[in-house]
Amino acid sequence: MEEVGGGTVCVTGGTGYVASWLIMRLLQHGYSVRATVRSNPSAESKRDISYLTNLPGAPDRLQIFHADLNQPETFNEAIQGCTGVFHVAHPIDVEGKEPEETVTNRALEGTLGILKACINSKTVKRVIYTSSLATILFNSKGLSETDESTWSELDLCKSSSLVSSSYLVSKTVVERAALEFAEKHGLDLVTVVLPIVFGPFICPNIPASVYMGLAPIFGDEDKCKYLTNTYMVHIDDVASAHIHLLEHSNAKGRYICSSVQTTIHELYDFLPARYPDFQIRMSDNLNEIKSYKRSKVSSRKLLSTGFKFEYGLGEMFDGAVQCCKEKGFL
């Protein structure tokens, strides 16, 4: 692939945490951006997306398109004429409110429809697909270090008691299918495999991953269980990695983008020391929470392309806490 370094790109799921921050950074990099958002049939409940349309550069270089994964053809207009596509949109059902098959089919058909639109456009040079460590971690190999060659096993995904099987299965099935489709049809597709994305945010509501990370500060003991053994990355590093992989001429296949691994016990030591003014809610059964050893997650492949992580755990929490204060959540 030739170096992109500008031009017109499409970002699906534009109102989400990762997508909105990515749009902001793309505009700063000089790109023209077409963002897709889900259309709302009710004019009275029309979503306020001023946090996107008011971004620096947005009046001249941001276009909003309405599209829905349930109707993949609705993405065609936004993709036509783009040189790059960031497919970030995915049905989020971590708590399992919808049947596994429903979520998976919606994500799969939507993604394949978007990839077909990329091929039909004749202009798209590369697609960056946003994936999750859920597609890697749920395996029975007992590896000391995990990399992009590992895939989650669907049987383990379906038996998970921590995260809903619909989320785990859909992410795993869709990433595999996207890579297979791209290889079959000669489409340049790169996937970015993300852990918990954490840090500041420009969207008006607290992103689910940010709330999860701040569960000890919010006193949500139920959500603390997700932090038992945690892999995290700063939102700005996520956006930078997406843009880097779009522009890097030799990028190929999957890339893990994870910079920090921690445990709930380590967080309960870290948080009171960093934020003495907050009452950090200790879980009543903290001693019963086992920080079971998971494999180390390697971002070596991403780093080998020349990418560098800029932020650590402190910056992640500082950014998240500051945004929550500014928006009145803390």
219 burial via Cβ count (<10 Å: 0-12, 13-18, 19+): middle
What's the pLDDT score for residue 49? 93
Distance (Å, whole) CA 51 – CA 193: 26
141 is known as an active-site residue: no
Distance (Å, whole) CA 11 – CA 17: 12
Does residue 194 contact residue 258 with C-beta atoms inside 8 Å? yes
Q: Cα–chain-centroid distance for residue 13? A: 11
What's the pLDDT score for residue 305? 97
What's the pLDDT score for residue 287? 53
- Number of Cβ within 10 Å of residue 180's Cβ equals 11
Catalytic residue among 141, 171, 293, 327: 171
Among the four given CATH numbers 3.40.50.300, 3.90.1560.10, 3.40.50.720, 3.40.50.11260, the one describing domain 8-200+234-258+292-310: 3.40.50.720
The string of DSSP letters for 236-283 reads: HHHHHHHHHHHH-TT--EEEE---EEEEHHHHHHHHHHH-TTS-----
Helix locations, the chain, DSSP H: 17-28, 50-53, 58-61, 76-79, 100-121, 134-137, 154-158, 165-185, 208-213, 215-218, 221-224, 235-247, 264-274, 300-303, 313-326
pLDDT tens per residue, the chain (330 residues)? 444 457 999 999 999 999 999 999 999 999 999 999 987 644 445 678 999 999 999 999 999 999 998 899 999 999 999 999 999 987 665 555 677 788 888 889 999 999 999 999 999 999 999 999 999 998 888 888 999 999 999 988 888 766 777 788 889 999 999 999 999 999 999 999 999 999 999 999 999 999 999 999 998 888 888 888 899 999 999 999 999 999 999 999 999 999 999 988 899 899 999 999 988 876 655 555 444 456 789 999 999 999 999 999 999 999 999 999 999 999
Record the pTM: 0.93
Domain ranges in the chain are 8-200+234-258+292-310
Distance (Å, whole) CA 102 – CA 251: 32
What's the pLDDT score for residue 282? 61
What's the pLDDT score for residue 158? 86
